[in-house]
Amino acid sequence: MGSLPFSYCFSSFILFASINLLLAADNITQEVSIQDGETLISSAQRFELGFFSPGNSTKRYLGIWYKKSPETIVWVANRNNPILDSSGVLTISENGNLVLLSKAKNIVWSSNISVKVENTVARLLDTGNFVLMDASENYRWQSFDYPSDIQLPGMKLGWNLKTGLERYLTSWKTADDPSSGDFTFRFNINYLLPELVIYRGSTKIARSGPWNGVYFGGIPTNPNLIFEMILVHNEAEFSYWYQPFNDPLVMLVKLTQSGMKQWQIWNERSNKWDLVYSAPEDVCGNYGHCGANSVCSINKTPICECLNGFESNSKFNQTSSQGCVRRLPLDCEEGDGFIKVDNVKVPDLVDVSLNESMSLKECEAKCLSNCSCKAYTDFNATGDGSGCLMWFGDLIDIRKLVENKGTQDFYLRVPASELKTNSSNGTSMDTEDKKNKGNRKLLWMIVTPILSLAVVTLGFLIHHVRRKHRRKGEDLLLFDMHLGQKSGLELTEEKKLGKNCGNEVKLPLFSFASVCAATDNFLATNKLGEGGFGTVYKGTLLKGDQIAVKRLSRRSGQGWEELKNEAMLIAKLQHKNLVRLLGCCIEQDEKILIYEYMPNKSLDFFLFDSSKRKLLDWKTRIRIIEGIAQGLLYLHEFSTMRIIHRDLKVSNILLDRDMNPKISDFGIARIFRENELQANTRRIVGTYGYMSPEYALEGIFSTKSDVFSFGVLLLEIVSGKKSTGFYQNESPNLLGYAWNMWTSDKGSELLDPELEDQSSMILLLRYVNVGLLCVQESAKDRPSMTEVVSMLMNQAAILPSPKQPAFSYVRNSRSVNSYSSKSEKCTVNNVTLTILEAR
């Protein structure tokens, strides 16, 4: 298809589009209705509206579904009032309402707007919203205001404060029956502290923890790179909605018939929905699982423990799952005090009071002065001390957040005697916790109610078409296949070159003269550094935009094939964690790739420099690790083809202005066909220290060889140590060192000493666990990138224990020696090397 002439593709597209237009419109009017068997299709063909029968049912419903996934019904009009035959007609009544009629013109369902509106039109939008508009295109009614069991991106859940309308999800009864089921998913706004809650009838099943737009149940609102959640609070609205960061991403949130809230992402390759997160995520996510005045910690046995100063309520069963009662009564006036309970989802907001203007100190005094006040906190949870939230009754549904991405604390009231006997933490097992700090069992963590992980972007072709830049009188030549605009000069140029950046990609072709102009003739002071295949220069375009110019050395291994490979690959990819290719230049002997400029250079510039390492604080490192994981996941699972990078290493991770990571250097990447799982090569290319054993020794590569490199990278980032050239504690390399530390329960010693934040320790252990799993000797023991991202993002996920990793044996081991002896000659400073393996 890619090699077909543009005009042919374009005319086919027009033909196809016109056929579709003939078949389906996206709107109905008073004159044009649809009946059972006919559908509306949104303009970009994303959603379809029509009649359907779910599962084995023969009843007919009017609904909206994804065009590419017709079984995914995102909205049902007459969910509680099905039509029993195929007589349904959707039309607009004389008073401007949408009405669904069955046999004998009975109204089965209506949009029910109370005032008469002339000339309304109902249109199915590409967001999946079905809107009824007046002549001025104001929405008089919209399906997004009456959700079924699915929240689509852009759909608000919560309250319209002007009309009192509450929008919430209601589960289907069964897969065959869309009528209202037992469960609802609502946006509660009690005490101005919004919370997402799942109910069965009027009983709470699970809750997110309070959300102030910044922190959500103690965790930053948008810790992942998949989508952002937006809180809306103004005079008209108190609601929230979400939006994927990458637009082509198709995702939804569904409330299942069993009361689970699921986040799903459409996988273009498998044509299936991937489940990326569900809530409640574990038993601690079940509302009040441990009963009153106790804390649920998913990584402990037993998981329920009483808050300090409390003991089990059950005389016979000494676990605290029945809830806990005070060991000693409060002194009230006799000098009670407070113990900080940190890193928890705070107790549910039942029987609370909120004062928005009080400082934390005032809050403490206020709570102390009222004997029924059991606990308090700063209500905005950002720790700036403004706002005071006090609890009066039992404290319910507290769970431990073991990670350090965000915190939420509260102060628990205890009698003076408990203050003396207890440490400053919240539960009776905390002292023991400290002892067990290095214990990897502590790795199970809490879950962020906003989930998860997986990611992605179904990116298509880069539309970076730069036109008509002029510099020093030179045309910055652009060969723009996408727009089909070719000047005579460009045509001549194309003939002369006989090539362009790649026949199948729409990538600008720069003239050598313009590249020279942008880099001041490759001035030495513009040199950014030497890469595996040539020198990289900084350049400036006429408009002032900065670029990075990779000039392949003539004697470099990267010839036309590699260049084309890299250009075509990256041009087809679009993800925020992949460096963007802006164009290329091929003239005579010159082969040049032009990238977006990354002002913070590569990760190794920071990570392995003793003074600059300090700039990489823990949160930045976590963001970098997560970003790399997301970029790699996209390459493996979510781009239009499966790509194995084959040379993932610190120097190929570039950092943008905000220290966000982008994977670069696709010179040796390989595309896998649909069902291809691994490939074999005689030409082993990669970098010592990052190559998996099966690749280094046998030339076998797969997504799992990238996972191996990712594992090495992860361990380097958390430890600040290079994977190679590492001699410490008799360990042959970083993997051996990490393994030795892990098995002797000294995993915490892996933490880069530059990172003073000791509270990151538990998360560190989790990351080390994931890193060790990635570098397992056998590829089948390594997780996929989907699993890696899930493990990193979903802290409740239970992690398998790693076995001894590859290359971690003592120095004279067969694999290390046989590998390193081959590579020693050609490996300098972690540059990409080629080993021709005799097989």
Instruction: Name the residues annotated as catalytic.
Output: 647
Q: How far apart are CA 34 and CA 322, in angstroms?
A: 57
Burial of 824 (0-12, 13-18, 19+ CB in 10 A): exposed
Phi, psi for residue 375 in degrees, rounded to 5? -165, 160
Closer to ligand ACK at the Cβ: 580 or 822?
580
Q: Residue 278 forms beta bridges with which residues?
A: 262
Shortest spacing between CB 532 and ligand ACK, in angstroms: 8
Give dist(CA 574, CA 461) in Å, integer: 7
List beta partners, residue 663.
Answer: 578, 653
463-489 burial: b if 16+ Cβ within 10 Å, else e? ebbbeebebeebbbbbbbbbeeeeeee
CB of 533: closest distance to ligand ACK in angstroms? 9
- C-alpha to C-alpha distances, 257 to 77, 148, 176, nearest whole angstrom: 18, 12, 11
Q: Measured in whole angstroms, how far is the alpha carbon of residue 478 from the centre of its chain? A: 35
| Distances in whole angstroms, Cα of residue 410 to Cα of each of 306, 346, 376 | 15, 7, 6
| Distance from C-alpha of 677 to C-alpha of 646, rounded to nearest angstrom | 14
Token pair for residue 311?
């003991």
- C-alpha dist (Å) from residue 691 to 513, 669, 703: 39, 14, 12
List of residues 6+ apart from 178 with CB closer than 8 A:
54, 61, 63, 73, 76, 79, 148, 149, 172
DSSP at 805: B
In the complex, the smallest distance separating the C-beta of residue 553 from ligand ACK, rounded to whole angstroms, is: 12
Smaller CB separation from ligand ACK, 318 or 553: 553
| Rounded Cα gap, residues 663 and 640, in angstroms | 17
Helix or strand holding residue 209 (H, E): none
Tell which residue, 207, 186, 169, 189, has the closest CA to residue 286: 207
Would you give the distance in Å from CA 236 to the centre of its chain?
30
CB-wise, 667 or 747, nearer to ligand ACK? 667
In eight-state DSSP terms, residue 210 is: -
Smallest separation (angstroms) from ligand ACK to the CB of 402: 35
651: Cα separation from own chain's centroid: 24
CB closest to ligand ACK, residue no: 529
Q: Which is nearer to ligand ACK, 537 or 767 (CB)?
A: 537
First to last CA, the chain: 38
Least separation in angstroms between CB 605 and ligand ACK: 4
Rounded Cα gap, residues 635 and 651, in angstroms:
18
* SS3 state at 513: helix
Contact in structure between 518 and 549 (CB atoms under 8 Å): yes
Between 366 and 601, name the residue whose CB sits nearer to ligand ACK: 601
* Beta bridge partner(s), residue 740: none
User: Smallest distance from the beta carbon of 592 to ligand ACK, in angstroms?
Assistant: 13
- List Cβ neighbours of 812 (8 Å cut-off, separation of 6 or more): none
Residues 6+ apart with CB under 8 A from 183: 170, 171, 198, 199, 200, 205, 255, 256, 257, 258, 259
Instruction: Give the closest residue to 548 by CA, choosing from 476, 601, 604.
Output: 601
> What are the Cα distances from residue 268, in Å, to 248, 569, 584, 722?
10, 18, 29, 37
Q: How far is the CB of 369 from ligand ACK (least distance, A)?
A: 59
Six token digits for residue 433: 């916790």
Please, is 122 exposed, middle or buried when counting C-beta atoms within 10 Å of its C-beta (0-12, 13-18, 19+)? buried
Specify the residue, 664 or 692, whose C-beta has the smaller distance to ligand ACK.
664
Cβ closest to ligand ACK, residue 795 vs residue 832: 832
Nearest to 426 by CA among 466, 406, 399, 448: 399
Q: Least distance from C-beta 661 to ligand ACK, angstroms?
A: 12
Q: Is 626 helix (H, G, I), strand (E, B) or coil?
A: helix
Which CB sits closer to ligand ACK, 667 or 802? 667
Q: What minimum distance in Å lies between the beta carbon of 515 and ligand ACK? A: 14
Beta carbon of residue 526, minimum distance to ligand ACK (angstroms, whole number): 11
DSSP annotation of 634 reads I
Strand partners, 656: none
Nearest distance, CB of residue 603 and ligand ACK, angstroms: 8
- Whichever of 358 and 573 has its CB closer to ligand ACK, that residue is 573
Cβ-based nearer residue to ligand ACK, 555 or 839: 555
Q: Which is nearer to ligand ACK, 600 or 784 (CB)?
A: 600
Q: To the nearest whole angstrom, how small is the minimum distance from the Cβ of residue 22 to ligand ACK?
A: 47
Q: Which is nearer to ligand ACK, 225 or 549 (CB)?
A: 549
Instruction: Select 399 or 580, whichever has its Cβ closest to ligand ACK.
Output: 580
| Binding residues for ligand ACK (CB under 6 A) | 528-531, 536, 548, 579, 595, 597-598, 601-602, 605, 654, 664
Shortest distance, position 501 Cβ to ligand ACK, whole Å: 17
| DSSP per-residue string spanning 116-131 | --TT-EEEE-TTS-EE
